[in-house]
Amino acid sequence: MRYRVMRLMLFFDLPVLTSEQRRNYRRFRKQLINEGFLMIQESVYVRVAINRKSAEFLEKRLLDVVPPEGIVQTLIVTEKQYASMNFLVGASIDDVKNNDDKVIII
């Protein structure tokens, strides 16, 4: 079986004006972290998936925890596309957690 490692990128903009909105934001962010997402920028999270089907499954599972207000978007890209990301301002951080060198497919 051939695996094509994918990245599920998630972008969100959630309101935090009321205490309920802040609680929804915290719950959503905590759930993302529990699902294995890593923050690459404020309100931008990413997770490695072993193939497209796995990424789509995870995307559907997130529908259960999306807050009722705000906007949440996802984008599935290949590892090669993700690796070609350019930094227009700032510098890349060689973070071991966000590196595909140690990806093990079981």
Annotated binding site: which residue ranges?
A: 13
CATH number of this structure's domain 6-82, picked from the four choices 3.30.70.240, 3.40.50.11740, 3.40.430.10, 3.20.20.70? 3.30.70.240
At residue 72, φ and ψ (nearest 5 deg) are -135, 125
Annotated binding site for Mg(2+): which residue ranges?
A: 13
- At 17, the pLDDT band (50, 70, 90 cuts) reads very high
Burial environment of residue 10 by CB neighbours within 10 A (0 to 12, 13 to 18, 19 or more): buried
Res 104 pLDDT > 90: no
Token pair in block for residue 6: 């994918």
Look at residue 31 in the predicted model and tell me its pLDDT.
95
Res 98 pLDDT > 80: no
**Stated pTM of the model:** 0.81
Cα 39 from Cα 43, distance rounded (Å): 7
Res 4 pLDDT > 70: yes
Res 6 pLDDT > 60: yes
Does residue 31 or residue 102 have the better pLDDT? 31
Q: What is the pLDDT of residues 20-61, one digit of tens each?
A: 999 999 999 999 999 999 999 999 999 999 999 999 999 999
Q: What is the pLDDT of residues 54-86, one digit of tens each?
A: 999 999 999 999 999 999 999 999 999 998 888
Domain ranges of the chain: 6-82
The answer to whether the beta carbons of residues 38 and 45 sit under 8 Å apart is: yes
